Structure 1
Amino acid sequence: MARKPRIHYPGAIYHVMLRGNAKQAIFHKDEEYRYFENILAQGLEQNSVRLHAYCWMENHVHMALQVKDKPLSKLMQNIAQRYTHWFNERYGRVGHLFQGRYKAILVDEDAYLLELIRYIHLNPVRANIVTDPIDYLLSSHAAYTGHVQPPSWLTVHRCLGYFGKTESAARAAYLHFMGQTTEEELLEQLRHGNKEGRILGNENFIKDVLTQNSETVPAEITIRQLVDVVAHAYQVSPLEMTSASRSRHLAEARAMAALIGMDQCNYLLSNFAQYFKRDVPTMSKRVKAMRTRLTKNRLMREKMGHINNQITTIRKA
């Protein structure tokens, strides 16, 4: 399927991820983090973009960015090109540094911005680098807690304002929020969105932004219809899809249905866990494994493309 265009409107907030090509490191030394921050600061100012949170990892970065009139691509293309050129010169290398184009998920501010901030700041904890995010110096968490002065290019007050009216109350509430557990289903949504990998929001938010972007809101497709299409593609019956069988072939078919349902049809992982009578952690593990396999397996990508085409036909009927 062709990539859908980026959605842009003044005030839009995105979860932005920029990864090293083939998972290679994009940072080796402190100077490289500092150079990246310098060109980012310049780009933020030139394009009137706000950075609400960040986390720099060795082979990728996470940011919560809010645009004004200029589209996000202006900033991201500039950063990627400048940093790649500088990095290649520094190490005497040529070619791509980053993995394709950056990923940006448009986020419903009211429902998901604070969850996104927590997701970004806990990235080093999930990666087992630290047990407490305050011990990781390459994120904006310490600026939110008041342990360090926020750099001029980071906007902290807006998100802290959601937690309390005074600075001390807001920081205390923020720390309490950071200590809460995030459900696996929400983690999956924060990583991949819940609509075509471009949007994270409820049904009304999705319809509003698609309408603003002059895109047609697709007709709904039921889980049963989706499972029927996937079952046909995998040459099994829909009844087998909901059976207790743990065969690898059926597990893959269920994961394919869940992944497409989440990314294309605005369903939740829990919807498919319930439909297939599986628990959410198991379904999440299967879907995550399938996402990885899709990057390497051409035949699987072709099968997904065929299923998506069938879904499009059903929606147009």
Structure 2
Amino acid sequence: MINTESFEFESVYHIFSHVNGRELIFREETNYHFFLKQLNKYILPIADIYAYCLLPNHFHLLLRFKSFNEVGTEDEHQYLMKNFGDFLNSYAKAYNKKYDRKGALFLNTIKRKRVNDEKYLLKVVHYIHNNPVHHGFVDNIENWKYSSYQSFLSLEKESKLDRKTILDYFETIKDFMGYHHSNVEYDYLDLE
């Protein structure tokens, strides 16, 4: 379920959610792959994905909702909300079936922060990619398999991410990597 504040076409959002309780959203590698498959199925038709990070008990997405003309619907709020609900429900139902569990997998609301400027956008990208380090899962972001960071480093490989939009802020891939390894202050940005 998503809170009542509506999404808007052509807007960029940092979206994140946690597991309900102390369980895990991702117990094994196949869970991560299935989540990304469902993300592609339900969210790619309505949004360009800039960055993501999947952690055992929560996830982060940075995306831009497509324009009204690209999506072709009249009720943007209902349409965008429905796709997100379908996305999370499809994952939760498959997860519950696989692990013989019942009840809500995710918290009742997805948290989201609208991204209104370039400085904030880049800080969110940094935050998302550094989240596994922040939570102590790895010492270096290059070692986390379940984020979009590696995709940015492997430009020769095809990706469904909109890497160009983010990389246009950097002169070179080395600048992109250097930024990710720098200390960026984002405590006041309310990213969790």
Q: Contact 1:116 / 1:190 at 8 angstroms: preserved in 2?
A: no
Q: State TM-score, norm by structure 2.
A: 0.86
Q: How does 1:1-317 map to 2 (within 5 A)?
A: 5-46=4-45, 48-68=46-66, 69=68, 70-71=76-77, 72-146=80-154, 149-152=157-160, 154-164=161-171, 169=172, 171-183=173-185, 186-192=186-192
Corresponding residue SS for 1:93: coil
- Measured against aligned partners, the alpha-carbon deviations of 1:247-286 in whole angstroms (never above 9, x if no partner) come to xxxxxxxxxxxxxxxxxxxxxxxxxxxxxxxxxxxxxxxx
Structure of greater Rg:
1
User: How big is the shift at 1:150?
Assistant: 4.8
Q: Which letter maps to 1:158? A: T
Question: Residue 63 of structure 1 aligns to a residue in which SS?
Answer: strand
Task: Describe the SS at the equivalent of 1:34.
Answer: helix
CA deviation after TM superposition for structure 1 residue 173, in Å: 1.0
Aligned length: 181
Distance 2:187 2:158 in 1: 26
Distance verdict in 2 for CA 1:104–1:23, change over 3 Å: farther
Tell me the TM-score normalized by structure 1: 0.54
Question: Which structure has more strand as a fraction of its residues?
Answer: 2
Is the Cα–Cα contact under 8 Å of residues 7 and 81 in structure 2 kept in the other structure? no
Q: Does structure 1 retain, via aligned residues, the 8 Å contact 2:13–2:62? A: yes
Matches of 1:159 and 1:104, distance apart in 2: 19
Residue identity in the other structure for 2:123: E
Question: Structure 1 unaligned runs (5+)?
Answer: 193-317
Q: RMSD in angstroms over aligned alpha carbons?
A: 2.0
Which residue of structure 2 lines up, in the alignment, with residue 288 of structure 1?
none
CA shift, 1:98, in A, is 0.6
Query: In structure 1, what is the Cα distance between the partners aligned to 2:9 and 2:90?
Result: 25
* Deviation, structure 1 residue 179: 1.8
Q: Secondary structure at the residue paired with 2:10?
A: coil
8 Å CA contact 2:115, 2:121 repeated in 1: yes
- TM-superposed CA distance for 1:109, in Å, is 3.4
Code of the residue aligned with 2:61 in structure 1: it is: M
Greater fraction of residues in helix? 1
Aligned AA for 2:178? H
Q: Tell me how far 1:6 sits from its aligned partner.
A: 1.7
- Give the secondary-structure state (helix, strand or coil) at the position aligned to 1:122: helix
Q: Name the SS of the counterpart of 2:104 in structure 1.
A: coil
2-structure distance, mates of 1:188, 1:23: 26
Of stretches 69-78 and 14-23 in structure 1, the one that deviates more from structure 2 is 69-78
SS of equivalent residue, structure 1 residue 130:
coil
Q: Distance in 2 between matches of 1:131 and 1:45?
A: 31
Contact residue 142 and residue 148 of structure 1 kept, 8 A: no
Structure 1 window deviating more from structure 2 (14-23 vs 140-149): it is 140-149
> Deviation at 1:187?
2.7
List 4+ stretches of structure 1 deviating above 4 A.
none
The sequence identity of aligned pairs, in percent, is: 24
Contact 2:18 2:59 in 1 (8 A): yes
In the TM superposition, residue 129 of structure 1 has moved relative to its aligned partner by 1.4
Q: Measure, in 1, the Cα distance between the counterparts of 2:149 and 2:187.
A: 18
Whole-Å separation in 1 of the counterparts to 2:14 and 2:22: 19
Q: Deviations over 1:212-234 (max 9, x none)?
A: xxxxxxxxxxxxxxxxxxxxxxx
Q: Check whether the contact 1:119–1:187 (CA below 8 A) recurs between aligned residues.
A: no
Which runs of 5 or more residues in structure 2 are unaligned?
69-75
CA–CA separation in structure 2 for the residues paired with 1:125 and 1:96: 28
Distance 2:114 2:35 in 1: 23
Aligned residue for 1:53, secondary structure, equals strand
Give 2:53's aligned amino acid.
C
